[in-house]
Amino acid sequence: MNRRALSRILTAASLFVGILPADAQSPGYDQPYRPQVHFSPQRNWTNDPNGLVYFHGEYHLFFQYNPLGDRWGHMSWGHAVSTDLLHWRELPVAIPEKDGEMVFTGSVVIDSENTSGLCAAHKPCMVAIYTGYRKDQKGTLQNQNLAYSLDNGRTWTRYARNPVLDLHLSDFRDPSVFRDEAQHRWLMAVALPLEHKVLFYASPDLKQWTRLSDFGPAGDVAGDWECPDLLRVPADKGGPDVWALKVGLNPGAPQGGSGEQYFLGSFDGTRFTASTQPGSHGWTNYGKDDYCAISFNHLPPGQRPVLLGWMNNWQYASKLPTSPWRGQMSLPRRLSYLSDDAGIALKQEPITEPLRIDHATIVKSYEIVRDVPFELDLHFDLVPQGTTGLRLYTEPHHWTEIAFDATKHEFYIDRTHSGATVAPEFPVKTTAPFVASRPCDLRLIVDRSSVEAFAQQGTIAMTNLIFPPSRHTHIVIFHSAGGAVAVQGDMWTLQSIWK
């Protein structure tokens, strides 16, 4: 690319177009570190997203939730809805802990044909398939259970003959269920965490399940396998769909703690087979803070699959310095896959609502000042040696660095100086290998307590929490050898979703 590549950024005038504090209209969403473009519950603890589904014009986000406190416990399903995947409205708890049974991670499907018989006269209705968790003197038990809702997810009834799938195991969880229209059946991927396996089941009615096959151990097996998701992924630019199997690993992920790997391959209706093509095994996120992501069920026709995860890591999730809530979700991202000379890779494109203010042209290195949240869409013209990227300064001694290291062929986020250190495992530099033949583009979304980076056409996703001392950010584009940096791009302000 042209070394005189131009940069298009904000004009000075637009710097004065500030963002109104979120609490101007929405009390309760303006505490320190409160995410402005990511979902977080108004109060209390959350972990994994659950039951992501589109129904009657609403996207539903259920989530692991403790209605009684800001630490893990009393697991229930919290609930929020959105009409655009951006703005969320939190609703009362959907499925509470009951009679000693906690409600662990699972799915929601729309039973259009009333195959379950649970919809009665209300077809189509919503059916949740979740892991029930019990712990008593005899030990722990995890099995799969149903609940249903006849009023668009507002109230839920547990199925009277639960559980529907029980192997009498202490670890058997996180059913991911979806419709196989072609064969008029339901399919489930569910984890055997300690054996590093995903089991596949089929059912005509969500109640009786027949085991089809197992996948694993495979890939990385350093920790428990959790939160599997099997989904069909379209090509980014034409070509056949592939199947992706995503599975959480905790602990033992490459960046430490919890993380997620994916396998691209094929599913013949019974068995998932991982491809051996280069790139078919990777990490859905190379940062530390994206876990137990799942995809939406029943999206409107033509929409690419949408994945959304818990923006956190089990290493320090209970230590985050936020109140009165703890835990937040990643941005939703649309999935496709890319295939080029270097191989195949999962692609993620975050869904945001960028509001263009203005742009300017810069030919030298520059510095801009913004308040979070904002989005940068940049394209770097890499020098073959050294590091090219940007630093986000919130104070002279507090910064987060996001860059491509051409010498090491690494993309990274360095949060060692980003602010509050939270726990010993927190201040790290997370890295991902980059493919020299792919463009070095970067989409970066900076919120009050996170940076989410999507590099190389979204084939590298890197999500990291940060707890900076201020919302005010000086953005400095740099090259390690100094001098001008060839970069072009746009900067966008993002409006708080809580207004």
* Residue among 259 and 489 whose Cβ is closer to ligand FRU: 259
88 binds ligand FRU (CB under 6 A): no
Q: Is 205 exposed, middle or buried (0-12, 13-18, 19+ CB in 10 A)?
A: middle
Cβ contact 228:277 at 8 Å: no
Q: How far is CA 48 from CA 5, 21, 345, 398, in A?
A: 42, 28, 24, 30
**Is beta strand 325-326 parallel, antiparallel or unpaired with respect to 44-55?**
parallel
Residues 309/326, Cβ–Cβ less than 8 Å: no
Cβ neighbours of residue 69 under 8 Å, at least 6 residues apart?
44, 45
Q: Is 48 marked active-site?
A: yes
Q: Does 261 sit near ligand FRU (CB under 6 A)?
A: no
DSSP character at residue 331: P
Tokens 């890295």: give the residue: 431
Least spacing, CB of residue 368 vs ligand FRU, in Å: 37
Judged by beta carbon, residue 64 or residue 322, the one nearer ligand FRU is 64
Token pair listed for 202: 């089929």
Return the number of the residue (164 or 403) whose C-beta is nearest ligand FRU.
164
Task: Please say which residue, 29 or 130, places its beta carbon nearer to ligand FRU.
Answer: 130
In the complex with ligand FRU, the residue whose CB is nearer, 227 or 491, is 227
Token pair of 57 as six digits = 């014009």
Q: Quick check: 226 binds ligand FRU (CB under 6 A)?
A: yes
Distance in Å, CB of 16 to ligand FRU, minimum: 43
Token couple for 400: 């987060």
**Contact mark string toward ligand FRU, 30..59, x via CB under 6 A:** -----------------xx-----------
What DSSP string describes 342-361? TEEEEEEEE---EEE---EE
374 is a site residue for ligand FRU (CB under 6 A):
no
User: Does residue 173 touch ligand FRU according to CB under 6 A?
Assistant: yes
Angle in degrees, CA 95, 332, 368, rounded to 5: 135
In angstroms, give the least distance from the CB of 496 to ligand FRU.
27
Could you give the residue ranges of the DSSP H alpha helices within 145-254? none
Is residue 227 near ligand FRU by the rule CB under 6 A?
Answer: yes
Q: Does 105 bind ligand FRU (CB under 6 A)?
A: yes
Q: Which residue has the tokens 């029980």?
A: 166
Figure out which of the listed residues 174, 229, 405, 447 binds ligand FRU, where binding follows CB under 6 A: 174
Total residues binding ligand FRU (CB under 6 A): 13
CB of 318 to ligand FRU, least distance (A): 12
**Choice among 23, 48, 214, 268 that is catalytic:** 48
Binding site for ligand FRU (CB under 6 A): 47-48, 64, 75, 104-105, 131, 173-174, 226-227, 291-292
Active-site residue list: 48
